């Protein structure tokens, strides 16, 4: 999953700190607000990928705060948190688009599981004409929460990268129509810089192309048969380098 900007709205300082620490440990960037007014102020200056919102706040309640946030950002993803049975208030929140309710006390894993459930991971474009390899890679990446597009030729890879703005390009070198090096150079010429991991089963035959691509600062180069763990580590390194989260 990409690094997410997460707003934590909670007046219990210890709980807010625990949630923020849990988010930081997995690479996300939390901002803490201790009141509804503070949360609205934060959101008015910066849209967040996800908000965890306590219902009971010292000024305006969490549902009113949520409604104010939805006015600023109709696509805001907000999860309500409560230790009270206030079903009517929660119904107002869910009726207006709150996507989940966490009942206190909850384990910190519930916060991380909610992020995985609700916020999509990065979009990965796999450019490879080997159907068996593509099927195995697509299944592996989907299992780890990534969305996958497939291009079977070099020209399809260029077209798909321009249309879909992937977060990562897994690029085979020996593609029909356009060689992988030509795909990379064409995307660069068009101003579309996609973090690229080269994958090839022909390291000797493609040595010159690989050297050229490394000089152009590709993210990584893997050789077939690709170890699943090595592929996931390479994608994860790109995923946690920052950059704007997908919206």
DSSP code of residue 10? -
Ordered alpha helix ranges (H), the chain: 13-25, 36-45, 62-72, 87-95, 108-118, 131-143, 154-164, 180-189, 207-215, 228-239
Question: What is the CATH T-level fold of the domain 123-239, as seen in this structure?
Answer: Rossmann fold (3.40.50)
pLDDT tens digits for 196-227?
999 998 888 889 988 998 888 788 898 888 88
Question: What is the CATH T-level fold of the domain 5-118, as seen in this structure?
Answer: Rossmann fold (3.40.50)
Mean pLDDT of the chain: 85
The confidence band for 1, taking pLDDT boundaries of 50, 70 and 90, is low
Q: Which two tokens stand for residue 18?
A: 């625990």
The confidence band for 246, taking pLDDT boundaries of 50, 70 and 90, is very low
Beta carbons of 200 and 212 less than 8 angstroms apart: no
Q: Mind spelling out the 3-state secondary structure of 37-59? A: HHHHHHHHHCCCCEEEEECCCCC
Most confident segment among 120-134, 163-177, 226-240: 163-177
pLDDT tens digits for 80-133?
998 766 666 667 667 766 667 777 777 878 877 777 666 556 789 999 999 999
Indicate where the chain has its CATH 3.40.50.2300 domain(s): 5-118, 123-239
């Amino acid at each position: 999953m990409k690094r997410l900007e997460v707003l934590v709205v909670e007046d219990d300082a210890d709980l807010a700190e625990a949630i923020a620490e849990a988010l930081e440990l997995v690479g996300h960037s939390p901002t803490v607000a201790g009141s509804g007014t503070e949360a609205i102020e934060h959101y008015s200056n910066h849209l967040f990928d996800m908000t965890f919102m306590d219902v009971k706040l010292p000024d305006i309640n969490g549902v009113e705060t949520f409604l104010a946030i939805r006015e600023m950002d109709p696509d805001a993803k907000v999860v309500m948190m409560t230790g009270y049975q206030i079903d009517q208030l929660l119904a107002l929140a869910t009726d207006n688009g709150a996507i989940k309710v966490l009942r206190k006390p909850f384990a910190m894993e519930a916060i991380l599981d909610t992020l995985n459930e609700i916020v999509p991971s990065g979009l990965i474009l796999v450019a490879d004409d080997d159907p068996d390899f593509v099927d195995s890679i697509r299944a592996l990446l989907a299992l780890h929460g990534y969305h996958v597009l497939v291009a079977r030729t070099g020209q399809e890879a260029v077209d798909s990268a321009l249309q879909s703005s992937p977060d990562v390009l897994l690029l085979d070198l020996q593609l029909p129509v356009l060689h992988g090096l030509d795909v990379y150079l064409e995307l660069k010429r068009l101003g579309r810089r996609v973090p690229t991991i080269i994958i090839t089963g022909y390291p000797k035959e493609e040595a010159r192309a690989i050297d050229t691509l490394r000089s152009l600062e590709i993210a990584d180069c893997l050789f077939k048969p690709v170890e699943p763990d090595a592929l996931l580590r390479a994608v994860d390194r790109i995923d946690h380098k920052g950059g704007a989260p997908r919206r």
